[in-house]
Structure 1
């Protein structure tokens, strides 16, 4: 695509810039753009952050790292970090979103290795001052290091988006030793459990069995009090907690012998579906299957899917829908699938009657979870094959990566009007041929639009290069 002779980075388009040679950009522009990110809520992708880090390095602008957001520091070359300021650098980088770097990737492991060397960690035992410097980088530590370290490691583990099973067991071992600020689990009260924060999700049955029943019940009531205002993902966590905290109590009482062929709880009805804590009564997917009738499901699908259903429970709903609709799910029901839609394979999606843009828009709702690459490609292909057109709102909901995964023939069907109303799209992952296609459409979309040359440039910027 044609490129203007003078390039500049506009801080008004942080979500859509492509990575271009540093020689094409003035150092002052790179610096101003990067520093402007500190005050913006827009998040950049790993590709964009990596690009910015390379641009800064090429202009020798990485020295004063304090001026840059922590997320960006994750992509700096740790070999270039100066010894005198390395502690401050890694402490700041550790405040970034580590999920931007795949767990186990060379860059992420290199970051941890550099931090350990900087803090002169010589053994598996981490001391308080080392833990303070490592921050969330402890999330990648081996279980043996967690158990060997100062109990303050628990505060670091609160920063982890997810812990492996082995790390969770190590966390429980630290708590069971009783040397942490939380004391012995037998002494915990409601306030202690609340102070544990996200760590309560990792408590195993052994630890929970030591917590007084009255304390567990009080904590359960505190969860229930806020449950109604929580989003779906938070409800799943709350439901997991409620079941976990109920389990030690239940184990001390005789249980009814489980039956493999009948519902042991009350059958699920339209009225009980309005209870946000309904799923506590169905502690296995088998019981959920036996207590949910096809008739109730068919007429209350949307209401049922508002419940925080985990994957095995969603599979039950999917199985029952196959029984109800042996010839395929009607389009009106497809709109209601929400998180259940992500449980269908690309082959199954290829049979969906996705003819309406409203249906596709509903299925692309990011709140319902991420699609797999093959799934989303099939979904979009199916919609287009059935005569659908990609509008601006659909392109915005799809995002640049999914747009780039379309075939060239499918991109050719997109109207310039859709590009104009799609907002900023990051097409950095597109092939050059597809970028050229989209650039030509963007030229038509933004030609003649009111505003200054700078405004035009900002609109068309994502499609350059």
Structure 2
């Protein structure tokens, strides 16, 4: 037999063995009489040719054959035929007896036969049998192994599909586990499979599925979005969406799915976490309920805008503002500048002097005239808890408020005492270096909570520390505890400070400090600076690794790569270690020069192109990639796209982000769907108009609000037209429609903006300033007044912002006065002076006096030659000039 090929072996069985055993003229058909069991019969009559028989052949030739006895002698195909036989398998033990003789590498071929049989005749297979098959796959199939490609894994899901009917609750978690480390497509397919069997699943099984979805909160955001989209597809009504989506996953619900057709159950809403844009979708309903505003969670309160409260009673509005105040044991209500200014406008004329009863950040926008002199200290004490970064720089709030604080607290000079620092609180984050280096050392404690510090502030802080007049003592006494006690300040300190510490002390500190910073997702730019300053040392030139080869143990150290400078990092990092520990290395290396080394070595490791599973791990390292680097990457999956474009890893140059997105779209079947758009966000502005035009309305409707600030006017026009189609079904509800289309209004034409002004939408000033400048220039004072509604006073606050300043200088003072907010224009009105007599030569040669008109030119600072905007005036001027010339001839 060894000398025969497979075709010859098949011929032996077909033309000799089977005809001989099945002949009708024999007294012992099948030659079964003289065998002592099925094993002896099979081996004696078939030898090594038994594999060419079908199970039906064997059973026809020996009706008493014991498949249990000969199971280990049967081929995978024969075993599969046995398992697929109607009613053959009754119990878990029956399944175990068959599966134990099958090598896991042959599971695929086995289920390619068994699964279709179960799907065709489901009644022939009990839940116990199907559950046993599933358990065998979970236990021995090794489907979670990276060796199983995503394509093969999806094939396996199709094989398992018939086994999921009436799925047991105990098998749900294992199903999720085999797909846990795979891409979004795999996770989506698991949910889809379970969805197709939903009607057969018990409440316990569905509860277990829900629990596993909750646990997937630790999964990448893009996978959570796919889960949410799948849940929404089951029932798209807003009430059902709120009911079905896990509370902590609610932020992934598209705003368009939160349009309620009936009463809103605030108690259910209040259990979930929301974004401000989402909360605005249902915030208006708070005016129609007596739900206690004091019990609203902070994320619900983020929905407060002049648009969403426009129909509420004043008392209700004041109650909502009061509920946004700082409270112990509760997270801060995060509000944007326009929301805070709206709150202030709503309270004008009815402000209490108990400033702690208002949102801290709102106090930034109070007019000092609202504060009674005797209460100024309590005002600045409450203001000290504010986040001063919310205020636009054009408003100059920092210097203005500090000047008022100086007057109130009696501060003179640049030295602040401890009491002053305590009152000022977070305002110290806005002070210049002279105050920091000369003030009470308590200022260092206040600086710990600042969101950022300038180079001059850091220098002053270091000077104060090194003076030895702080609680941190003399420089010579500094140790590891000093670094810990400084809190977040080490993020900013320079080599002037770090030079006071031994290398061992710094490394020990980094072991605990860096994991905390990464967990908090501190900006990569800060971590880059920290590494530069703490590692400051001269580069050693040489051809050998002298610091120590980088091993798996080295990489596992939380202080890694501290101790290496770029030359040694390059020499000591071997490609096998890089390939094996790429994930950990990319997470811990923040220095741009080191990251460039990583990419170069990665290109060396994969000369034919970096595989997708490696690209997925690059993190912030990807930001130093050149277009040539990106051209070598494999980007076919949406989760790879999402990982590459994560904002916490840093921003992209437009050319690079365009290359990444384009590479993803080159894969057949990939498009700019909702999941992709959510991942791309502002990077959408790097794409060509032709690419943007391919986005479908459904994609915009099912995505999160986009940040289009970096898009050109032409790009915004394209996206606006698509969004109009996306949200046209909501156009009858002004509040809902405005909240949905607001991010795209930068591309709206004049006619649409004027139409919006008639809808009582109370447009905030940020949105107003984002409109097409050409559209703003054509809006009348009446248009703008109707458009911004209750936000009208903010025009005065933002009068020096480019968009507002340009617009007001196009109008006359008379037009601006109709707004009654104190706006002025630099436009000089067209004026005429009394006629002056001019001698004119008559036909008789006598001189007579004619009147001339002197036209005052428009001020050049008014934004251009204003006469160009008044063709009638130009015509009259030209006509008068022509007449005079005729008369003078």
Structure 1 length normalisation: TM-score? 0.72
Change (3 A) 1:443 1:168: same
User: Cα distance, 1:22 vs. partner?
Assistant: 8.4
Question: Which residue number in structure 2 is paired with residue 173 of structure 1?
Answer: 463
C-alpha RMSD of the superposition: 4.9
Measure the CA separation in 2 of the matches of 1:326 and 1:200.
Answer: 40
Closer, same or farther: CA 41–147 of 1 in aligned 2, 3 Å: closer
Instruction: Report the counterpart of residue 231 of structure 1 in structure 2.
Output: 518
Show the counterpart of 2:411.
121
Query: Match of 1:137, SS?
Result: helix
Q: What is the CA–CA distance in structure 1 between the aligned matches of 2:717 and 2:339, rounded to whole Å?
A: 17
Matches within 5 A, 1:216-255: 221=508, 224=511, 231=518
1:296–1:412 CA distance, 2 compared to 1 (3 A)? same
Counterpart of 2:338 (choices 50, 54, 63) is 50
User: Runs of 5+ in structure 2 lacking a partner?
Assistant: 1-258, 261-281, 287-298, 743-755, 757-889
Alpha carbons of structure 1 residues 227 and 108: separation in structure 2 relative to 1, 3 Å: closer
- Structure 1 stretch displaced more, 383-392 or 35-44: 35-44
Shift of 1:304: 1.9
Q: Does 2:601 align with 1:311?
A: no
> Is 1:356 the counterpart of 2:356 in the alignment?
no
TM-score by length of 2: 0.41
The C-alpha deviation readout for 1:333-358, integer Å capped at 9, x for no partner, is 32222111222367975886533212
Query: Gaps (5+ residues) in structure 1?
Result: 448-452
Cα distance, 1:62–1:338 mapped onto 2, change above 3 Å = farther
What residue in structure 1 maps to residue 705 of structure 2? Answer: 425
Confirm or deny: 8 A CA contact 2:376 2:408 kept in the other structure.
yes
Match of 2:692 among 410, 426, 429: 410
Larger radius of gyration: 2
Aligned ranges 1:259-338 → 2 under 5 Å: 259-270=541-552, 272-282=554-564, 284-324=565-605, 329-338=610-619
Q: Residue 450 of structure 2 aligns to a residue in which SS?
A: coil
Moved more, 428-437 or 63-72: 428-437
Matched-pair contact (CA < 8 Å) for 2:462–2:497: yes
Could you tell which deviates more after superposition, 268-277 or 286-295?
268-277
Further displaced range: 230-239 or 140-149: 230-239
Paired residue secondary structure (2:558): coil
Deviation at 1:78, TM superposition (A): 4.8
Q: Distance in 2 between matches of 1:300 and 1:434?
A: 42
Summarize the Cα distance change of 1:267–1:156 in structure 2 as closer, same or farther, 3 Å threshold: same
* Contact 1:331 1:353 (C-alpha < 8 Å) held by counterparts: yes
3-state SS of 1:306 partner: helix
How many Å apart are 1:228 and its aligned residue? 5.9
- Shift of residue 281 of structure 1? 3.2
Taking a change above 3 Å as real, the CA distance of residues 395 and 201 of structure 1, as seen in their structure-2 partners, is closer
More off after superposition, 310-319 vs 11-20 = 11-20
Asked if 2 retains the 8 angstrom alpha-carbon contact of 1:126 and 1:150, the reply is: yes
Higher relative contact order (CA 8 A, sep 6+): 1
What are the Cα deviations for residues 31-76 of structure 1, in whole angstroms up to 9, with x where unaligned? Answer: 455445458858757xx432441464266278345444333444x1
1-side partners of 2:447 and 2:632: how far apart? 45
Number of residue equivalences:
437
